[in-house]
A and B are shown apart, each in its own frame.
Chain A
Amino acid sequence: MTRWTADRPFLAVLALLLATAAALPLLAGTPLEMSRYLANAIGQLAAFAVLALSLDLIWGYLGILSLGHGLFFALGGYVVAMYLLKHSFEVTGTVPDFLQFMGWKDFPFYWAGFGAFPYALAVAVVLTTLVAGLFGYVSFRSRVGGVYFAIITQALVYVAMLLMFRNDTGFGGNNGMTGFSVMFGWPMGTSGMITGLAVASLLVLALVLAGCRWLVGSRFGALMLATRDDETRLRTLGYETLRLKLAVWCLSALIAMVAGMLYVPQVGIINPRLLSPELSLEIAVWVAIGGRGHLVGAVVGALLVNAIKFWLSFAAPEVWPFILSGLIVLVVLVFPNGLIDLARLRLVRPMGPRRLAADVGEARP
């Protein structure tokens, strides 16, 4: 791993993120001002990029593919939605829809305190750590890995989706939650709020990217790569990989949770669709397309795929699935390390085709 100061793709993306974050408010009021739609789209894309980073951390650097990361994304989303609804209710007195159609007079008891953001945040962190920690501990202890882990996490997120579809759980059921009108005392939907959320998302993305870069460049990062490449080898060198995996897994879950907390206020709705196995699979697709095992790759992949999706689902809805499947096949067959390979195509290779770090070390049979 090169020193971060010499990691130019990383620095370039970081600079681009910070520049966009600065440009959004600075350009306001000038003719170059971005439309609210665009600002909002950028904010959502940034949230997706954070989500992609969370998956890349465990898949690219630890070799564990989770097809259930939507669980933590949605957990963050649900908690922030609860905060927004409760807060909106406290400020404006609007009763959430789901209370009405369930015929409930009052919020269920577990909604107590959600009007305060610090409490909601604390609940989200504790819950995510608890869920991720428990599931991770049991799975890693019984050495569930590779495709098994992928399938089981997929089933887990599916179970969560089925549960949240139920209306009697007090989380809005299939409808989910929507109608957020106030956040931190300010009305939602204004230009200022939209820009603010987008800037916040970009800054969080930059922060998470830098943090992950620091982590994977550290001694701990080397041990993560070692775990990915040959876990038994590392264990027989005296390292309890269980603890290492668990720590990174929980960290990854927390990052996904943060992504959810950024995403939901910007899209204005949360419902169990965030828990659908397809979404969780798509996260892996973003990472694979961008470049697994490259933090910058994950960010670029998430931004690129979602930007095309935003644009195409409007401009040419029919072709989007074909383009996506084509992209995946292309990446899988031609650029095994993702589009990051494109950046290296013309690199002079004195030693012939070099295998890249990410090309190896998938879970072996």
Chain B
Amino acid sequence: MSLTALLVDGLTVRFGSFHAIDDLSLAIDYGEVRAVIGPNGAGKTTLLDVISGITRPKQGRVLFDGREDITGRSEAAIARAGIRRKFQKPSVFEGLTVRQHIAIGAGTGFRRGPEGPALEDRIGEVLETVGLADQAGRLAGELGHGQKQWLEIGMVLASDPRVLMLDEPVAGLTDEETARTAALVRALNRPDRAIVVVEHDMDFVERIADKVTVLHEGRTLFEGPMDKVRADAGVVDVYLGR
């Protein structure tokens, strides 16, 4: 196993004449919680879209586990390889119960995945982790906003992914919920797992992130620990200059 979980190499994404991502390179290691921040339109979500296979880059590639080129693969293949992602808007299946979500998340494709008691154990374990054990029978559409966020995290967690990407996990949450989520993210950190978090909430980022990447207009503006970020003149300029 390589140390580098994700290697983004010379990535360019264009929508029409707009450069969403412009020759971007970065590396994310196992055991690391990496926060990606930046103003609106900096390319954060697009970066996650490219990694999870939703958007095809114009140039560049994404290597998983240091050697597996996953650019151009289908979303499902990338997910099965062990890269899972929570979306910006809570994306849950409103017609299914909480339990069914975790069961779907635990499976990998149509055939493989845990069955019977093993599956039940896994579901119980994940629900416990995200704190939804008492909601197992409810329809996802009936859950509150915070619960939906956690449900989605539980769903992507269920398959025990190697790379976990969280797009704005605390957007719209109360302080208390944010604190719980921060604890959850830290608890998910393991030596054989990389976690990428896109977030605007700086306090939250400070609490969870080992390292921060600041994107601006599709390029890396700064990379380093959070305290350095706050001190960096360029970053301050970008955030305040708007």
A-side interface residues toward B, CB under 8 Å?
A: 219, 222-223, 225-226, 228-230, 232-241, 243-244, 293, 351, 354-355, 357-358, 360-361
Contact = CB atoms under 8 A, between A and B. Distances in A.
B76 A222 contact: no
A1 B54 CA distance: 31
A115 B178 CA distance: 71
Interface stretch (B34-42, B98-106, B180-188): B98-106
A190 B155 CA distance: 60
Contacts of A228: 95
A243 B77 CA distance: 13
Given A226-B93, A240-B109, A355-B94, A360 B141 contact: yes
A230 B93 contact: yes
Interface in B94-138: 94-96, 100, 103-105, 107-110
Given A237-B84, A238-B108, A239-B110, A229 B54 contact: no
B121 to A, nearest CB: 17
B110 A236 contact: no
B190 interface: no
A230 B91 contact: yes
Given A357-B139, A360-B141, A222 B96 contact: yes
A232 B54 contact: yes
B91 A238 contact: no
Given A235-B79, A237-B105, A238-B109, 14 more contacts: A222-B103, A225-B95, A229-B92, A230-B91, A232-B54, A233-B93, A235-B76, A236-B53, A236-B79, A239-B79, A239-B104, A239-B109, A354-B142, A358-B95
A357 B100 CA distance: 14
B184 to A, nearest CB: 19
B159 interface: yes
B74 A235 contact: yes
Contacts of B159: 237-238
Contacts of A355: 94, 141-142
Contact of B87 (A229, A233, A238): A233
A357 B139 CA distance: 9
Interface of B: 52-54, 74-76, 78-80, 84-85, 87, 91-96, 100, 103-105, 107-110, 139, 141-142, 155-156, 159
A354 B159 CA distance: 31
A29 B91 CA distance: 60
Nearest to A358: B95
Contact of A236 (B52, B93, B100, B141): B52
A232 B76 CA distance: 9
Contacts of A225: 93, 95-96
A139 B104 CA distance: 25
Contacts of B155: 237
Nearest to B78: A236
Given A229-B94, A229-B95, A233-B92, A239 B76 contact: yes
A225 B93 CA distance: 7
B92 A230 contact: yes
A196 B105 CA distance: 48
Given A235-B74, A239-B109, A240-B76, A360 B84 contact: no
A241 B53 CA distance: 14
15 contacts: A222-B100, A226-B93, A226-B100, A230-B92, A232-B75, A233-B87, A235-B74, A239-B104, A240-B76, A241-B76, A355-B142, A357-B95, A357-B141, A358-B95, A360-B94
A3 to B, nearest CB: 13
A236 B95 contact: no
Nearest to A225: B95
B107 A360 contact: no
A293 B79 CA distance: 29
Across chains A and B, which 5 residue pairs bring their CB atoms closest together, nearest first?
Answer: A238-B79, A229-B93, A357-B95, A235-B75, A233-B91
Contacts of A234: 93, 104
Contacts of A361: 93-95
B81 to A, nearest CB: 9
Nearest to B152: A233
Contact of A226 (B80, B96, B141): B96
Contacts of A222: 96, 100, 103-104
A358 B96 CA distance: 11
A3 B85 CA distance: 32
Contacts of A293: 95
Given A223-B104, A229-B96, A237 B156 contact: yes
A230 to B, nearest CB: 5
Nearest to A222: B100
B142 A226 contact: no
B178 to A, nearest CB: 23
A54 B96 CA distance: 22
B54 A236 contact: yes
A142 to B, nearest CB: 13
A87 B54 CA distance: 54
